[in-house]
């Protein structure tokens, strides 16, 4: 999480000014751009306030197999890498077939 807290614009726009949040890096997308999640000053996940729900309560994380968030991110990243490698192999095979085509 960054040390700098900033006002949550979504909460402010919903009528709750001065709701301060920080951000925790949760990974990167396929282009390498960082993905950030808003967090409270105590490090817990931030849930945006609305007029319908002015005091939101966080829902407990339900991991079916008990793996940590970091393990899940790593598992999904490895699966994406494997899928990309399979695509690359398929493209190489296709290119080879096209080169050998009369």
Q: What is the pTM of this model?
A: 0.49
Query: Distance of CA 2 to CAs 24, 41, 58, Å?
Result: 7, 10, 21
Per-residue confidence (pLDDT) for residue 61, from 0 to 100: 56
pLDDT digits (tens, 9 = 90+) for 21-50: 999 888 888 888 888 889 988 888 898 998
Do 4 and 45 lie in one domain? The reply is yes
Per-residue confidence (pLDDT) for residue 31, from 0 to 100: 86
Range of the domain at 38: 1-60
Do 91 and 47 lie in one domain? The reply is no
Do 73 and 28 lie in one domain? The reply is no
- How many domains does the structure of the chain reveal? 2
Look at residue 73 and tell me whether its pLDDT is greater than 90: no
Query: Distance of CA 62 to CAs 38, 41, 57, 73, 92, Å?
Result: 19, 23, 15, 15, 40
Distance CA 76, CA 26 (A): 13
Do 44 and 80 lie in one domain? The reply is no
Per-residue confidence (pLDDT) for residue 44, from 0 to 100: 84
């Amino acid at each position: 999480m960054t040390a700098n807290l900033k006002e949550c614009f979504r909460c402010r726009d919903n009528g709750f000014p001065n709701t301060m949040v920080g951000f925790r890096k949760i990974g990167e997308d396929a282009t390498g751009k960082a993905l950030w999640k808003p967090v409270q000053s105590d490090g817990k996940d931030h849930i945006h306030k609305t007029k319908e729900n002015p005091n939101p309560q966080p829902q407990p994380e339900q991991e079916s197999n008990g793996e940590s968030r970091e393990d899940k991110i790593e598992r999904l990243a490895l699966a994406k890498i494997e899928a990309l490698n399979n695509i690359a192999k398929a493209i190489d095979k296709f290119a080879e077939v096209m080169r050998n085509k009369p």
